[in-house]
Amino acid sequence: MSSSTVKNLTFEMRPPPPKAHLHKTLPDSAFPKGFLLSGTHVGIKKSKSAEDLGLILTTSPAERTSAAAVFTQNSFAAAPVRVSANVLAARSGRGVRGVVVNSGCANAVTGQKGEEDAWAMVRAAGEVGNAAVASTTSSSPAGDNDEANMLVMSTGVIGVRLPIDKILSGIQALPSSLGSSPAHWDSVARAFLTTDTFPKLRARTFAVTHADGTQREYRLAGMSKGAGMIHPRMGASVPTATGLHATLLSAIMTDVHVAPKALQSALNYACARSFNAISVDGDMSTNDTVVVLASGAADALEIDEKDNESFIQFRDALTDVAKELAQLVVRDGEGATKFVTVTVKGTKTYDDAHTIASRISTSALVKTALYGEDANWGRILASLGSLQELSAPIDPSRVSVSFIPAQQQNGTAPSDSPKPLLLLHNGEPQPLDEAHASSLLSQTDIEILLDIGLGEESAQYWTCDFSYEYVRINGDYRS
Amino acid sequence: MSSSTVKNLTFEMRPPPPKAHLHKTLPDSAFPKGFLLSGTHVGIKKSKSAEDLGLILTTSPAERTSAAAVFTQNSFAAAPVRVSANVLAARSGRGVRGVVVNSGCANAVTGQKGEEDAWAMVRAAGEVGNAAVASTTSSSPAGDNDEANMLVMSTGVIGVRLPIDKILSGIQALPSSLGSSPAHWDSVARAFLTTDTFPKLRARTFAVTHADGTQREYRLAGMSKGAGMIHPRMGASVPTATGLHATLLSAIMTDVHVAPKALQSALNYACARSFNAISVDGDMSTNDTVVVLASGAADALEIDEKDNESFIQFRDALTDVAKELAQLVVRDGEGATKFVTVTVKGTKTYDDAHTIASRISTSALVKTALYGEDANWGRILASLGSLQELSAPIDPSRVSVSFIPAQQQNGTAPSDSPKPLLLLHNGEPQPLDEAHASSLLSQTDIEILLDIGLGEESAQYWTCDFSYEYVRINGDYRS
């Protein structure tokens, strides 16, 4: 910004609330078996204490592992996205040894050289992975020695080459620091971060009832990153394109033994209800990637789609973790002071409900009103009315809109919590109790409920408000 | 905003530049003949010095007048939009006596009562109009005495009833203050304003060569308003819906004699290249309306589409005025510090070029980077790449992006002006000269040029940056 025109201006504003409590310390027992991890600083990020390179390896035999991923549908998909899709397809989801990730540079719009850099990361990490596996499982060969067995993720600024020498040296130095403690998981979660304010790591155990009647317990742990350029729309394939910016990234690990096709199917289902249902600023990134790695390291029976019960139990557990990781991205949205759930029901199709929820979640006017805690609900309707791509046209006389207090969003409403506030009922505005609206809108968690009145389908979306801090962060991202 | 959580925070920022010089004083001779106008304060807006009710009348015989309009395509089209469309259709564009406008309240999502209020405004204004015309043209009857001969426009907050008694009394008191001086035109332009910082009034003379070979001079004058909720997509018909907020409004007057069908055709063409090609915040309003009234009061031959030359001359003059009025809305965009032209060329279809320009013009990340004067061009490509609704898919290896200095946008480049800055050429990033980028981005007028490399079509869009001031204005609009 040219300094001659810059002034210090003072605003009365609500700063983003503290978010450090969202960084959780998890017990050793919550993490899946069969993984080694390390996060380190190699000098991509300026701050020396900030991890900017991470490696996640499974030490299981190749034939027990499976991997699945969803990638950005952006025409300018970045080099690491295209390379990872290539590795995954070439291996049909079997024997993927792990994921190497860097933050600070997105390796996007970097041309042919950028693609070579992404491949170099894959090979260097593959070498480290193969050696680590050979040393930890000397009695049985852990898999093939092909080095093109790693997925790669990058996030950061666009249009700039990776400092590839630093990264390759960093990867070669990783073996000494690999481990499986909660601190190792935490350090990799930190290696994903850019403008994020806390590492996003979650883990849980879940039970599966197998076809033979036995019930077994497994583990799922994952990390996500993202704060800006968040409006993912990911799919299992990548547009054929050459390469852009930063981004939703997530890696989820589990110790179930699951067929690659079933894993991809479970991820597609989970992603639609989690990462593809969040928006910070409406801008889709070139690097969005979610990877799931299954080590099969638990004493596990294989899960596949044919055994419906065990598959659905796994898929739902994966969806819950994905939803939690996706929602953490929104809670850490750039400048966010509010966590907003947009629930749309009463549409003829799921796609209509998703489209409406997405549109409202990206309206600058709705989001600034939420920041201002202003019950300007007319903006919600203007945004809804602007949609012309719905399968069934909106009938304004059937539309109802309410604000729902956060305490009722998980079904537990303490007796002193505010009541829901009906703003519009079948197209008729309701008298607005400003004190009631104010008590709802002053909460950090807000839910907007729209009933379209045309059918039985519904969808949910999660978004945040639009604050001064968002403008500050993005007005000068590169410096 | 709950006061307990509010703090005074100070930002280093560039405030919106002064815009008062955009309010022009125009000579008497620039205004079209055959119109009477008045703007007044009736108490809808809080400030007593602020006009909030305006009336524009043509005093010409009904058979010499014509009117055309385009309206928002929002499903929640406001009552005044639906009533105006009804009046215009019922009269087939002939004998429309004028336009009554109020600001401060949008009469949107106001149910059946809101529709009755809009009709009451039409009838009261029609009565005043008929009486004024009868008194000014006593020798020849000026048209029918039907009072449903006025169009109506409202802008302001949504979901609140109009203070209809104040408005009707105000309309009845208008006759004493009607006039045709530049001050009268200016006072009506002020009656359109909401968060606008200056009245947007422009006028020009233009020449038409008629089929008989004579060349005659006519006049066009118009006013527009708009600062937020600006992303119009207007059409000649209204969605069948019941009614919502604030808004792009414009009224353009001319003294040509033109057939209603030709006038509508010229307006459709002009609107696509002006009002439907601007965005402040990506939010489409429920009240967007552009009206053109032709008085036929000049000693004029009738223009119709059959006489191609005269029609095109008129259509192009109308387009130029519409473009100027639309661009003023962007210059006065809420919190705007930059006026940004997005030019897209090299697409297979005009629609593709328009869709791309519209998408880039609404990216929060592109707009905050422009506010920060940060050459973060990767965000432009991420935004481009997110489009999946194009007729021909983007080929990243054919895409080029440049910043063009404002001085070259009208073809006159002073020798000391900065050169264009090529950022991406056929998909390859170019070395970025930060000093050059900084000198271009520190200007108030910036042009982003995208060459898609697939065809011969092109489109232009105008937008502004996204500043702290936008958040301040919209964080608490209602209070």
**Res B47: pLDDT:** 84
Give A56-101 as a DSSP string. EEE-S-GGG-EEEEEEE--TT--HHHHHHHHHHHHTTTSS--EEEE
Number of Cβ pairs < 8 A linking chain A and chain B: 296
Instruction: Mark yes or no for CB contact B363/A1 under 8 Å.
Output: no
Q: Is residue A300 domain-shared with residue A449, that is, in the same domain?
A: no
Q: Is residue A271 domain-shared with residue A365, that is, in the same domain?
A: no
d(CA A207, CA B148): 71
| Joined tokens for residue A354 | 């998703």
Q: Is residue B344 domain-shared with residue B324, that is, in the same domain?
A: no
Cβ(A302)–Cβ(A229) below 8 Å: no
Q: Is residue B352 domain-shared with residue B301, that is, in the same domain?
A: no
Q: For residue A251, how many C-alpha atoms fall within 13 Å in the half-sphere facing its CB?
A: 32
Instruction: Mark yes or no for CB contact B373/A74 under 8 Å.
Output: no
Taking residues A53-65, what's their average pLDDT?
95
Nearest residue on chain A to B111, alpha-carbon basis: A428
Q: Is residue B159 domain-shared with residue B303, that is, in the same domain?
A: yes
Q: Is residue A357 domain-shared with residue A268, that is, in the same domain?
A: no
Least CB–CB distance from A373: residue in B1, B432, B467? B1
DSSP state of A323: H
Q: Does B436 touch chain A (CB under 8 A)?
A: no
Nearest residue on chain A to B3, alpha-carbon basis: A14
Instruction: Mark yes or no for CB contact A471/B474 under 8 Å.
Output: no
Cβ contacts of B430 on chain A, cutoff 8 Å: none
Domain CATH number, residue B56: 3.60.70.12
Domain CATH number, residue A449: 3.10.20.340
Instruction: Mark yes or no for CB contact B283/A383 under 8 Å.
Output: yes
**Res A17: pLDDT:** 79
**What percent of chain A is modeled with pLDDT above 90?**
65
**Res A245: pLDDT:** 37
Dihedral sign of CA atoms A153, A157, A163, A166 in order: negative
pLDDT per residue as tens digits for the range A23-45: 888 999 999 999 999 999 999 98
Instruction: Mark yes or no for CB contact B9/A15 under 8 Å.
Output: yes
d(CA A319, CA A367): 27
Count structural domains, chain A.
2
Taking residues A381-392, what's their average pLDDT?
90
Least CB–CB distance from B478: residue in A6, A14, A376? A376
Confirm or deny that A194 is annotated as ligand binding.
yes
Give alpha helix (H) positions in B273-349: 308-331
Least CB–CB distance from A385: residue in B244, B467, B475? B244
DSSP state of B150: E
Q: Is residue A66 domain-shared with residue A208, that is, in the same domain?
A: yes
Three-state secondary structure call for residue A149: coil
Residue A304: pLDDT band with limits 50, 70, 90:
confident
- Residue B1 is assigned to a structural domain of this protein: no
Residue A398: pLDDT band with limits 50, 70, 90:
very high
Residue A410: pLDDT band with limits 50, 70, 90:
low
Instruction: Mark yes or no for CB contact A241/B7 under 8 Å.
Output: no
Q: Can you give the residue range of the structural domain that contains B107?
A: 20-331
Q: Is residue A304 domain-shared with residue A361, that is, in the same domain?
A: no
Instruction: Mark yes or no for CB contact A474/B281 under 8 Å.
Output: no
Instruction: Mark yes or no for CB contact A76/B369 under 8 Å.
Output: no
Q: Does A14 touch chain B (CB under 8 A)?
A: yes
| Joined tokens for residue A345 | 């029901």
Q: Is residue A314 domain-shared with residue A392, that is, in the same domain?
A: no
pLDDT per residue as tens digits for the range A264-283: 999 999 999 999 999 998 88
Three-state secondary structure call for residue A20: helix
- Residue A4 is assigned to a structural domain of this protein: no
Residue A393 has pLDDT above 50, yes or no: yes
Between these two residues, A416 and B193, which has the higher pLDDT value? Answer: B193
Cβ contacts of B347 on chain A, cutoff 8 Å: none
d(CA A248, CA A326): 9
Q: Is residue A265 domain-shared with residue A376, that is, in the same domain?
A: no
Boundary (domain end) residue, out of B290, B307, B331: B331
pLDDT tens, N- to C-terminus, chain B (479 residues): 444 566 676 766 677 778 888 888 899 999 999 999 999 999 998 888 899 999 999 999 999 999 999 999 988 899 999 999 999 999 999 999 999 999 999 999 888 899 999 999 999 999 999 998 888 765 444 456 688 999 999 999 888 899 999 999 999 999 999 999 999 999 999 999 988 889 999 999 999 999 888 999 999 999 999 887 887 878 776 654 322 234 799 999 999 999 999 999 999 999 999 999 999 988 888 899 999 999 999 877 899 888 789 999 999 999 999 999 999 999 998 889 999 999 999 999 999 999 999 999 999 999 999 998 988 888 999 899 999 889 999 999 999 999 998 766 555 555 566 789 999 999 888 888 989 999 899 999 999 999 999 999 999 999 999 988 888 888 865 55
d(CA B313, CA B307): 10
Active site (catalytic) residues of A: 247
Residue A122 has pLDDT above 70, yes or no: yes
Confirm or deny that B247 is annotated as ligand binding.
yes
Confirm or deny that B225 is annotated as ligand binding.
yes
Confirm or deny that B474 is annotated as ligand binding.
yes
Residue A263 has pLDDT above 90, yes or no: yes
Measured CA to CA in angstroms, residue B425 lies from A105, A238, A361, B399, B404 at distances of 21, 23, 34, 7, 14
Residue A1 has pLDDT above 60, yes or no: no
Among the listed residues B245, B289, B471, B283, the one whose alpha carbon sits nearest the alpha carbon of residue B362:
B283
Boundary (domain end) residue, out of A300, A331, A362: A331
**Res B84: pLDDT:** 97
Cβ contacts of A109 on chain B, cutoff 8 Å: 378, 381, 396, 424, 427, 429
Least CB–CB distance from B13: residue in A7, A372, A432? A7
- Residue B6 is assigned to a structural domain of this protein: no
pLDDT per residue as tens digits for the range A305-317: 887 899 999 999 9
**Res B175: pLDDT:** 93
Q: Is residue A151 domain-shared with residue A169, that is, in the same domain?
A: yes
CA B249 to chain centre: 6
B286 included as an active-site residue: no
**Res B136: pLDDT:** 73
d(CA A215, CA A209): 4
Measured CA to CA in angstroms, residue B213 lies from A325, B210, B254, B304, B307 at distances of 73, 5, 21, 15, 11
Chain B nearest-CA distance from A454, in A, is: 15
The strand pairing partners of B9, in sequence order, are: A11
Active-site residue identified among B247, B289, B341, B347: B247
Residue A241 has pLDDT above 50, yes or no: no
Q: Is residue B44 domain-shared with residue B154, that is, in the same domain?
A: yes
Boundary (domain end) residue, out of B291, B307, B331: B331
| Joined tokens for residue A69 | 């991923």
- Residue A306 is assigned to a structural domain of this protein: yes
Name which of A120-124, A155-159, A180-184, B260-264 the model is least confident about: A155-159
- Residue B53 is assigned to a structural domain of this protein: yes
Q: For residue A354, how many C-alpha atoms fall within 13 Å in the half-sphere facing its CB?
A: 13
For A23-42, b/e burial (b = at least 16 CB within 10 A) is eeeeeeebbbbbbbbbbbbb
d(CA A160, CA B46): 52
- Residue B61 is assigned to a structural domain of this protein: yes
